[in-house]
Structure 1
Amino acid sequence: MQFVFRVFLVLLLTGGLTASAAAHKPIMTGAEQTSLYIPYLKGKKVGMVVNPTAVIGERLLVDSLLKLGVKVTRIFGPEHGFRGNASNGAHVADEVDAATGIPVVSLYGVRKMPPKQDMDAIDVMIYDIQDVGCRFYTNINTLRDIMEACVEAGKELVILDRPNPNDYVDGPILDMKLKSGIGQFPIPITHGMTVGEFARMINGEGWLKNKRKCKLKIIPVKNYKHGMDYTLPVGPSPNLNTQQSVLLYPSLCLFEGTIVSQGRGTYMPFTVLGAPALKGRYEFSFTPQSIPGKAESPLHMGQACYGLDLRAFDTAPLRKAGRINLGWMIELYKAYPEKERFFDQSYSKQMGSIDKLAGTTAFRQQIIAGKTEAEIRRSWEPGLGQYKKMRIRYLLYP
């Protein structure tokens, strides 16, 4: 045994071990593995559902594919637009991309699904959008709509998979009576899946019309396992502009259903929390302003908001535990002087009511009643446990 240990130590120190034994191989997204899908696209008219997160290195995927001889005939843009310069919730118009001359069809304006004439203009569809693993992040709604359109048109959907930066399962299961634009599926707040896996779940659970199934070709992420840390190379939307904001998003987006600002209208959105009425209770403050392309009319615009600065908050323990932070909601509700206004929808117009965001009416009632985090979490069972068992059937990664 001592000899074996010495041999192992020598190999480790001299680099004789394989890369997988000595250090984990670098993650490669589906898009980066061009040899797995470029030959399949040759000679086909290709449609692409993409935004600025669809990259290979520092180059946009569209530009890379065009350079490699792929015939891209349509680009379909989700919320925030193909170039990512539209504000949260803003309708986006059709256009012609100035850089490539390719028609860009908006899926976040007057329509949510590609028109028939645009589906007829393609042979195959590519989907490559970085998700952040949350039910209320609308990209998974777009994914479902694209799958519907592909089924209707008889087209195959090629998904270039990417890691999930919030790769854990937590939160109440959506009560489908509260189904809305920010909650379309009976899943928890963080679903713990990649886009490729989620597409398999949409097919497998019969979430398309008439339980039809979309023909899928998934290019999986290489060297990836669930639970790995992953730093996004590109901010996924205008108000998720840092890795910290992405990691705090599952917890802080719930505040969109309150009178508390999450920093929209600043250059540090989703890393701070505050409201004017909390003056005197907290020292830290920020003042939301109109920022074109990010937040034209943010909550509490021009008013100093007092509250929590989470820019340096260590998210690692939360991710390791696989938990959304409920403590901030409990704390700020207790601190807010006019509690009847805290969840007043007339002051919270950006995303939707707290009930739709949480996916249940119980969460708001529990906060008001002063329930502890442990008590709130217990109420999420058995739904959360049942979801975890169902999720296993669709996983592509260990």
Structure 2
Amino acid sequence: MNKNAPRIKTGLDTLWDKRPECLKGRRLGLLANPASITSQFEHAKDVIAQRFPGQICALFSPQHGFFAEKQDNMIESGHFRAPDLNIPVFSLYSETRIPTTDMFDPIDTLVIDIQDVGTRVYTFIYTISYCLEMAAKLGRSVVVLDRPNPVGGLQIEGNILEEDYSSFVGRYPIPMRHGMTVGEITAYINSTQKIDCDLTVIPMQGWTRDMYWQDTGLTWIPPSPNLPTPLSAMVYPGQVIFEGTNLSEGRGTTLPFEQFGAPYLDIHTLKQRVQGRLEGIVLRPVCFQPTSGKWRNQTCQGVHIHVTDRRKYKPYLYSLILLQEIMKAHPNGFQFKAPPYEYEFERLPMDLILGSRKLRENLEGRNDPLELEKTWQASLQQFKQESQNFYIYGF
């Protein structure tokens, strides 16, 4: 037995081992990006081309492009032809975020092999939802090749998105950290939103809900440029909120989301204000100069988040605490980011990220985040009970 073999098999690995009947004889499309690989580093498009010769007719890409080369939000990727397969590659983050009927004309079944990161604001699951809607409308089927939730399947955290703050960074009433695999949440959306697409999920083998990415034995391939490591994915459910502020969330550095800061930030005051309140992490003072994005080429005072105990770490709550303390300490330096943000030109980006204007206003009003967390526990438990109906994997 190979001691270095991954502990689990992804849906793509399963497809490689055994061709599913639902794909035989069908004209196939594939929604994928660089993270769509087997444990042996074979890309999904090549696997499907080998296992189903002549059947793959179109490729589709989510935000950041088919090669995940686009850095930030509202940076579109174009359509092109794949030279090796001589088939079209349709960008679903271009002049449209919604697939057109023309894009679906070449296919009978859309295969989806996308690495999600378990966080409400990550746009891949909404690209999938639009594909489900178009497939249902046109009578096409969808097959999802499942992949791990890199931040585990046990911890669920955050307020439920309010309907008035639905956007491309949150279409549905789910919490910030949803605790589902991409296959599970696709099935959840398909059912609860009454899309009723003909959907099949090809499950993983060996994955259990207590696993983080580091437990899988799989190699991490960044699903987008600013989630370069499993650690960046671990802090992302909280640190993403700093996208809605004038603080650098670490884009344009080697540690996106793991570190944050601004030229005006007083690190020592911040550490004193949160001392003893943030379990499972250490905040290490740093200075950095982003090469792009906010505060480009300017020295930012900030902190690097080191996770020491993932069981105690609550990324969303802790980032809300950090945000509020920065707002208190820097009333003249701190600002919320103005629109546009993900094609929303009127609503405040922070409200879209939090899924609630009221939560943002409560933070501004200096209401304790620990007390605010209590107010969403009932709705969070309701989501947890409903979402468990779509769990494929045990505890």
State whether residues 76 and 114 of structure 1, in contact with CA within 8 Å, keep that contact through their aligned partners in structure 2: no
Q: 1:280 to 1:331 in 2, by over 3 A?
A: closer
How far apart are residue 100 of structure 1 and its match?
A: 3.2
Residue 51 in structure 1 maps to residue 37 in structure 2 = no
Amino-acid identity (%): 31
Query: After the TM superposition, which residues 98-109 of structure 1 pair with which residues of structure 2 at under 5 Å, given as runs?
Result: 98-109=83-94
2:370 maps to 1:374 = yes
The change in CA–CA distance for 1:100 and 1:315 in structure 2 (over 3 A counts) is: farther
Q: How is 1:194-343 mapped onto 2 (pairs within 5 angstroms)?
A: 194-205=181-192, 207=193, 211-231=194-214, 233-278=220-265, 281=268, 284-290=286-292, 298-310=293-305, 312-314=306-308, 316-318=310-312, 324-326=317-319, 327-338=321-332, 341-343=334-336
The amino acid that maps onto 1:304 is: T
Would the alpha carbon gap of residues 179 and 349 (structure 1) be closer, same or farther in structure 2, given more than 3 Å must change?
A: closer
CA shift, 1:109, in A, is 0.8
TM-score where L is the length of structure 1 = 0.84
Q: Deviations over 1:353-374 (max 9, x none)?
A: 2111111123222322333332
Contact 2:213/2:230, CA 8 A, preserved across alignment? no
Larger Rg: 1
CA-CA distance at 1:264 after TM superposition: 0.8
Matches within 5 A, 1:76-95: 76-89=60-73, 90-95=75-80
Whole-angstrom distance in 1 between the partners of 2:105 and 2:84: 24
Could you tell me how far 1:46 is from its partner in structure 2?
Answer: 0.8
- Quote how far apart the aligned CAs of 1:337 are: 4.5
| Alpha-carbon RMSD | 2.5
Is the contact between residue 120 and residue 153 of structure 1 (CA under 8 Å) also seen in structure 2? no
Alignment partners' CA distance in 1, 2:108 and 2:339: 46
Q: 1:214 to 1:350 in 2, by over 3 A?
A: closer
1:281 deviates by 4.6
How far the C-alpha of 1:385 sits from its partner, in A, is 1.7
Encode CA deviations 1:278-311: one digit per residue, 9 max, x unaligned: 1575752111113xxxxxxx0111211111112x
Unaligned runs of 5+ in 2: 270-284
Structure 1 equivalent of residue 361 of structure 2: 365
User: Structure 2: how far apart are the matches of 1:86 and 1:349?
Assistant: 14
Using the alignment, how far apart are the partners of 1:332 and 1:99 within structure 2? 51
Structure 1: which 5+ residue stretches go unaligned?
A: 1-14, 16-23, 291-297
Shift of 1:224: 1.5
User: 1 CA distance for matches of 2:376 and 2:134?
Assistant: 34
Which AA in structure 1 matches 2:235? L
Aligned length: 362
Letter aligned with residue 134 of structure 1:
T
SS at match of 2:28: strand
